[in-house]
A = this chain, B = another copy of it.
Amino acid sequence: MRADAQRNYDRIVEVARLVFREQGYDASLDDIAKRAGVGPGTLYRHFPKRENLLDAVMQSWVDRVNETVDKALTHEGTDRDVLLNWFEQYVALISQHKGGPAKITSAMGNPDSPIMTKCQVLATANRRVIDQLGEHSALRDDVDVIQVCRLVGGVATVADQAGLDADAVRPMLAVLADGLMR
């Protein structure tokens, strides 16, 4: 990639991260291009679809997911406590900007999505937590990891769109944790 192209790419992603956080995932691409100091055509060259831009914005976020799940795996308490704590972290991780939970969760399990690799990171994180559950509180066998992502992501989506805070979300996640363990 030519030096000026690389510079423009980086500036667009940097600005997009800021604007998505300020205005949500439905922010104007024109606005992002303007604030990055490029023409709209340049943005479209690098990111043909809005989701490609989201994918680039989420690149630096992968490390944070892995750090968070590492910490969650060492959490003190019962299996249920560990799972519930992780679900709260999961909701926070996918709720970086308004509209994010819906976009991420609906892409979960779709191999053609531009953000597929990011969904896999989340699915893998979830699997690590579930695999650590003791035999007596293991995951029921009629749901898989993707379903768990969808269930927790569904709660995150509703919370995001209705503007709910963590205190309103916790009991809903508790229902999921209790319902998931056989």
**Chain A contacts to B: CB under 8 angstroms:** 102, 105-110, 140, 142-143, 147, 150-151, 153-155, 157-158, 161-162, 168, 171-172, 174-180
Among A143, A153, A154, A161, which residue has the most Cβ atoms of chain B within 10 A? A154
5 smallest A-B Cβ distances: which pairs? A179-B179, A154-B154, A106-B161, A175-B179, A178-B179
For this chain, the copies found in one complex come to: 2
Q: Measured between C-beta atoms, what is the minimum distance from A167 to chain B in Å?
A: 11
The CA of A106 and the CA of B153, in the complex, are separated in Å by 14
Chain B residues positioned under 8 Å from A154 (CB to CB): 151, 154-155, 157-158, 172
14 further interface pairs, Cβ-Cβ under 8 Å (given A147-B172, A157-B158, A178-B179): A105-B158, A106-B158, A106-B162, A140-B175, A143-B171, A143-B172, A143-B175, A147-B168, A150-B155, A150-B172, A154-B154, A154-B157, A175-B180, A178-B178
